């Protein structure tokens, strides 16, 4: 579930989004029995924390970033696609990039800002951007920084009956000396506490970003519980020009970090 030292991946995602709409997050179907259902057990959150701990050493070898940008009138401007190979303890590798369907791999690799961001995926602790795949409200070592409120009712997400928790999380990353706060909702399977989806905003926002909403979708099939997709939608202003962006990153080919395998 954890991406070792991956703080700069979010920066790369935001960079590709800004260089280039608001998406409709996957809508959940509400259970007919939602109003009558009892509230979730407080122990359900603890189960999610235990699941995170058991899977925290898995990392994806492949990531695909698709970034769409529209103007203030929601007119399409550009579509950028980047395909990366991730390595624990080393810089990410850009395998291929496309802009509006045209191969731009060589040009993208030559950009100093992209090279720095790829390096930062391995050395991201000091990255100035605000979110990291290595941070999680389920981290057992960070529960003192998490506030959770269980809500009544159930919803079905991707075929899973889930319970809702409101949460706030003061992450370990700082921007300009200020601690970043996540505020949003977590959907957990109502039987075993398996994380299914996180949806949240952050404060303060990075630089030119005016609003953004993050959604993490977890792999729910048999195997390790890991983040399968991360989506960011929002707006920003660049040279006083309003832009809507939608950036979706999918992860695959998860492996256990070599150091973790040795410990086991």
- Write out pLDDT tens, residues 54-97: 998 888 899 999 999 988 888 998 999 999 998 877 778 899 99
Task: Note the pLDDT tens digit of each residue in 8-22.
Answer: 444 444 444 333 322
Name which of 117-121, 126-130, 255-259 the model is least confident about. 126-130
pLDDT at 18: 37
User: Could you tell me the pLDDT band of residue 163, with boundaries at 50, 70 and 90?
Assistant: very high
Residue 224 placed within a domain:
yes
Task: Note the pLDDT tens digit of each residue in 166-207.
Answer: 999 987 655 555 678 999 999 999 999 999 999 999 888 877
Helix (H) / strand (E) containing 52: helix 43-55
Cβ neighbour number for residue 15 with a 10 Å cutoff: 22
User: Could you tell me the pLDDT band of residue 102, with boundaries at 50, 70 and 90?
Assistant: very high
pLDDT of residue 165 exceeding 90, the answer is yes
Residue 66 placed within a domain:
yes
Query: What DSSP assignment string belongs to 198-264?
Result: EEEEEESPPTTEEEEEEEEEE--SSS---EEEEEEEEEEEETTEEEEEEEEEEEEEEEE-HHHHHH-
Burial of 5 (0-12, 13-18, 19+ CB in 10 A): buried
Residue 1 placed within a domain:
no
Q: Would you call the peptide bond into 204 cis, given omega within 30 degrees of 0 as the criterion?
A: yes
pLDDT of residue 262 exceeding 70, the answer is no
Residue 2 placed within a domain:
no
Question: Around 242, how many Cα atoms within 13 Å sit in the side-chain half-sphere?
Answer: 11
Share of the chain above pLDDT 90, in %: 40
pLDDT of residue 120 exceeding 90, the answer is no
- Mean pLDDT, rounded, of the chain: 76
Let me know how long the chain is: 264
Q: What is the mean pLDDT of residues 251-256?
A: 90
Q: Which one, of 2, 52, 7, lies nearest residue 174 by Cα?
A: 7
Structural domain count of the chain: 1
Burial of 159 (0-12, 13-18, 19+ CB in 10 A): exposed
Q: Sign of torsion, CA 200 202 206 211? A: positive
- Domain interval for residue 17: 7-263
Triad 227, 228, 231: Cα angle to 5°: 90
Residue 108 placed within a domain:
yes
Q: Which one, of 24, 26, 20, lies nearest residue 76 by Cα?
A: 20
Triad 168, 169, 173: Cα angle to 5°: 145
Residue 255 placed within a domain:
yes
Residue that wins the pLDDT comparison between 240 and 141: 141
Residue 143 placed within a domain:
yes
pLDDT at 19: 35
Residue 225 placed within a domain:
yes
């Amino acid at each position: 579930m954890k991406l070792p030292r991956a703080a700069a991946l979010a920066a790369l995602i935001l960079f590709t989004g800004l260089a280039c709409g608001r998406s409709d997050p996957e809508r959940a179907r509400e259970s007919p029995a939602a109003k009558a259902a009892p509230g979730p057990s407080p122990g359900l959150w603890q189960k999610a924390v235990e699941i995170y701990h058991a899977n925290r050493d898995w990392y994806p070898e492949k990531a695909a970033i698709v970034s769409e940008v529209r103007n203030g009138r929601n007119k399409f401007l550009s579509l950028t696609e980047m395909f990366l190979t991730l390595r624990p303890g080393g810089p990410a590798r850009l395998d291929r990039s496309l802009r509006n369907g045209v191969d731009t791999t060589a040009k993208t690799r030559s950009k100093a800002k992209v090279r720095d961001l790829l390096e930062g995926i391995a050395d991201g602790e000091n990255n100035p951007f605000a979110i990291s795949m290595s941070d999680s409200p389920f981290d057992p070592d960070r529960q003192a920084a998490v506030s959770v409120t269980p809500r009544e009712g159930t919803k079905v997400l991707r075929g899973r009956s889930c319970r809702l928790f409101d949460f706030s999380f003061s992450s370990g990353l700082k921007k300009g000396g200020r601690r970043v706060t996540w505020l949003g909702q977590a959907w957990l399977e109502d039987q075993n506490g398996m994380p299914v989806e996180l949806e949240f905003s952050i404060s303060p926002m990075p630089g030119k970003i005016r609003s953004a909403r993050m959604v993490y979708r977890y792999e729910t099939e048999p195997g390790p519980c890991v983040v399968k997709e991360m989506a960011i939608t929002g707006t920003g202003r660049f040279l006083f020009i309003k832009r809507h962006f939608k950036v979706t990153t999918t992860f695959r080919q998860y492996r256990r970090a070599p150091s973790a395998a040795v410990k086991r």
